[in-house]
Amino acid sequence: MAILNIVKDGDEILRRKCRPVENITPRITRLLDDMKETLHKANGVGLAAPQVGVLRRICIVECEPGELIELINPEITEMSGEQQEVEGCLSVPGKWGVTKRPEKVTVKATDRHGNSFTVEGEGLLARALCHEIDHLDGIIFYDKCVRMLSPEEIGEE
């Protein structure tokens, strides 16, 4: 496994729509492994393939340590409620904003073995799933911000 370089805001790859994964190859599973290692090193909650320079519909989310969710070709099938919470992004270091997201989502995806599955998320998990799936469509969290936070509000001066 390897630690991958996280693409930073301003790189055009973050604004591009990702292609679906047609076949799960050893290269795809290696990417998932590398993304997991990269996420852990960066102390993040989620990571999408375009954030590491790969335009494929792949993302991972880990809201609770040891509960990694790998999603290939994810799509949100249901959403309900609303939450407004603070969000940040590994590709946009030092910037935080309040985003409006659904309180609950259902996501259909494929795992690394080619099996379809569904995951339901509420609160932070719902937010993380939406955030990472947005990356696959070239959307960055601040595109959905109600307001960005000032350095004082996030404890940086």
What rounded mean pLDDT belongs to the chain? 96
**Residue 157 counted as domain residue:** no
- In Å, how far from its chain's centre is CA 13? 15
- Burial call 69-101: b when 16+ CB within 10 Å, e when fewer: bbbbbbebeebeeeeeeebbbbbbeebbbebeb
**Residue 3 counted as domain residue:** no
**Residue 1 counted as domain residue:** no
Indicate the helix (H) or strand (E) that contains 127: helix 124-135
Structure confidence at residue 66 (pLDDT) = 94
Check pLDDT > 70 for residue 156: no
How many domains, the chain? Answer: 1
Check pLDDT > 90 for residue 23: yes
Expressed as residue numbers, the domain containing 29 is: 12-148
Structure tokens at 59: 């993302």
Q: What is the pLDDT of residues 89-110, one digit of tens each?
A: 999 999 999 999 999 999 999 9
Structure confidence at residue 155 (pLDDT) = 72
**Residue 7 counted as domain residue:** no
Residue 35 and residue 27 in contact, taking contact as beta carbons nearer than 8 Å: no
Structure confidence at residue 1 (pLDDT) = 79
Structure confidence at residue 31 (pLDDT) = 98
Structure confidence at residue 107 (pLDDT) = 98
* Catalytic annotation, pick one of 132, 152, 153, 156: 132
Structure confidence at residue 84 (pLDDT) = 96
Residue 36 and residue 60 in contact, taking contact as beta carbons nearer than 8 Å: yes
Structure confidence at residue 150 (pLDDT) = 85
CATH value at residue 51: 3.90.45.10
Whether pTM > 0.85 for this model: the answer is yes
Could you tell me which residues are beta bridge partners of residue 109?
A: 117
Q: Is 132 considered catalytic here?
A: yes
**Residue 55 counted as domain residue:** yes
Classify burial at 36, counting beta carbons within 10 Å of its beta carbon; exposed 0-12, middle 13-18, buried 19 or more.
middle
**Residue 155 counted as domain residue:** no
- Span 18-22, mean pLDDT? 98
